[in-house]
Amino acid sequence: MIPAVSISLQVNGERIEAHVLPRLNLADFLREHLKLTGTHVGCEHGVCGACTVRVNGDIVRSCLMLAAQTNGASIETIEGLSDSGEISDLQAAFRERNALQCGFCTPGMLVTAQDLLLQEAEPDRERIREHLSGNYCRCTGYQAIVDAVASTARARTGRGA
Amino acid sequence: MKASAFSYARATSVVNAIELLAEHGDRAKVLSGGQSLMPAMNLRLISPELIVDIGDLTELRGIAVTGDRLRIGALTRHVDLLNSADVAKHAPLISEAITHVAHAAIRNRGTIGGSLAHADPAAELPASMVALKATIIVEGPAGERQIAAEDFFTGIYETALEVDELLVAVEVPVAQRNSAHYFSEFARRHGDYGIVGLAAQAVVDGDILTDLRLAYFSVGDRPVLAMAATKLLNVAVTPAVLLEASETLGEELDPQEDQQASVSMRRHLAKVLLARCVATLLGRPELSAGEVL
């Protein structure tokens, strides 16, 4: 019998105490224990980017982190970024530019794109593509997604959408 | 897939981690950033019985310059290397290599110690350490051992680490005034594992190479230090000299064939990188114009 691990962490600003089995990864902890199903599980080995969340301010793959490793950490998921209004303009741009179709990759795309926009005010299309290069989209393709990120960057720096 | 069940121990000190490793032997695995270990576990390529998480050992984190050595703690993340002014100044080869390592979300978790201990023959950092003549510092029950990077990597995912030893740091000599470096790789997409890559560290005296270490990766079961470099030392590099070095390189490399590339394609790409490397180091673009391949 493998003992559970006690963890204490913040998720979207809320204090969470839990006992988790060591093998449980952060993505499954968020989805199945906390019912935060906006974090999507695609490849489960760090390639597709659908499970991207923020841990202590840095974007990470939640499928490549154990829930047990999050003790003391502050996690922000797509639900947190969405509810706080932090990325409402980016979300609106994704809708306007038709940058999502099935929506499976969208949470990871939004978290990753926001990470870039926080680091660089005026990334060019090449930089946007590079930063999103670890996120797969299997339906709309990348053109509209890059358009949406670029137009959000322009709007945020007062250069028009 | 999900990782199979395992027990979990959060190491409280380096000594505690070594005790756990000594007790559990090869049934245990050290968890650092987890960016190579977790995929392997999720894919059930490995199923350790115990995970020893060293993530809390803050003493293993950080970059420091002491005299003519740059010391990087094992838990230093790729993103920390990328953003470090000390690394950019004293070991710019590492700064450049890191830009080719995976993607931002991976670089935020992956650590240098994890990458070196994992010893993927297609990875950028092991070859960079060989090029830089790095020393890998490990600790075990008997104390500290210093291992030259050239001797550390012994095969696919295999190193000179004993099962009860922990990689704690790496040290590289700081770049000198006339040091030069080159890093490049061919990959399907930026951030993917390289099909063939080259990390090179040199000393350039005017238009002469007085030292050159060519560490290739993805061409064998470990980083390959190419002896062809000796053909280029202390001579005026002409296209004929470069051609001879290139032929020597083709003879000494014994690359594998896989879904990404055939043996001859890998040999060819290694030669292309050699020409580009020498042309870049010497500031002579005509040397990589193609005729010496």
Complex-level ipTM? 0.95
The pLDDT of residue B192:
84
Asked if residue B143 and residue B127 are part of one domain, the reply reads yes
In this structure, are strands B224-225 and B208-217 parallel, antiparallel, or unpaired?
A: antiparallel
Closest by CA to B15, choosing from B67, B63, B52, is: B52
- Residues of chain A short of pLDDT 70, as ranges, are 161
Looking at the domain assignment, is residue A161 inside a domain?
no
| Cross-chain residue pair B103–A28, CB shorter than 8 Å | no
Asked if residue B153 and residue B82 are part of one domain, the reply reads yes
Q: Which residue of B has its CA nearest to A43?
A: B1
Q: How far is A3 from chain B (nearest CA, A)?
A: 7
Asked if residue A106 and residue A76 are part of one domain, the reply reads no
Q: Which residue of A has its CA nearest to B104?
A: A131
- Chain Cα centroid distance, residue A65: 14
Q: Which domain holds residue B224?
A: 181-288
Asked if residue A107 and residue A75 are part of one domain, the reply reads no
**A59, A69, A116 ranked by CB distance to B53: nearest:** A69
Q: Which residues contact A118 (CB under 8 A, 6 or more apart)?
A: none
For residue B293, is pLDDT > 60?
Answer: no
CATH number of the domain that residue B153 is part of:
3.30.465.10
The pLDDT of residue B291:
53
- How many Å apart are CA A2 and CA A77, to the nearest integer? 29
Mean pLDDT for the stretch of residues B248-272: 96
Asked if residue A72 and residue A16 are part of one domain, the reply reads yes
Looking at the domain assignment, is residue B1 inside a domain?
no
Q: Which residue of B has its CA nearest to A129?
A: B190
| Cross-chain residue pair B42–A63, CB shorter than 8 Å | yes
Number of structural domains chain A divides into: 2
* Single-letter residue type at A154: R
- The verdict on B157 touching A (C-beta cutoff 8 Å) is no
**Residue to test with chain B: of A5, A21, A60, most B Cβ within 10 A:** A60
Asked if residue A98 and residue A65 are part of one domain, the reply reads no
- Is residue B123 within 8 Å of residue B115, measured between CB atoms? yes
**A3, A21, A52 ranked by CB distance to B105: nearest:** A52
What confidence tens digit (pLDDT) does each residue in B215-242 have? 999 999 999 999 999 999 999 999 999 9
Last residue of a domain, one of B155, B172, B189: B172
Q: Which residues contact B262 (CB under 8 A, 6 or more apart)?
A: none
The pLDDT of residue B70:
98
Looking at the domain assignment, is residue A138 inside a domain?
yes
Asked if residue A76 and residue A42 are part of one domain, the reply reads yes
* Single-letter residue type at B131: A
Asked if residue A67 and residue A43 are part of one domain, the reply reads yes
pLDDT bin (cut points 50, 70, 90) of residue B290 is: low
Looking at the domain assignment, is residue A103 inside a domain?
yes
Asked if residue A9 and residue A74 are part of one domain, the reply reads yes
- The verdict on B34 touching A (C-beta cutoff 8 Å) is yes
- The verdict on B104 touching A (C-beta cutoff 8 Å) is yes
| Cross-chain residue pair A112–B31, CB shorter than 8 Å | no
Q: Which domain holds residue A147?
A: 87-156
What confidence tens digit (pLDDT) does each residue in B80-89 have? 999 999 999 9
For residue B292, is pLDDT > 60?
Answer: no
Asked if residue A91 and residue A76 are part of one domain, the reply reads no
Number of structural domains chain B divides into: 3
Q: Lowest-confidence range among A149-153, B131-135, B235-239, B289-293?
A: B289-293
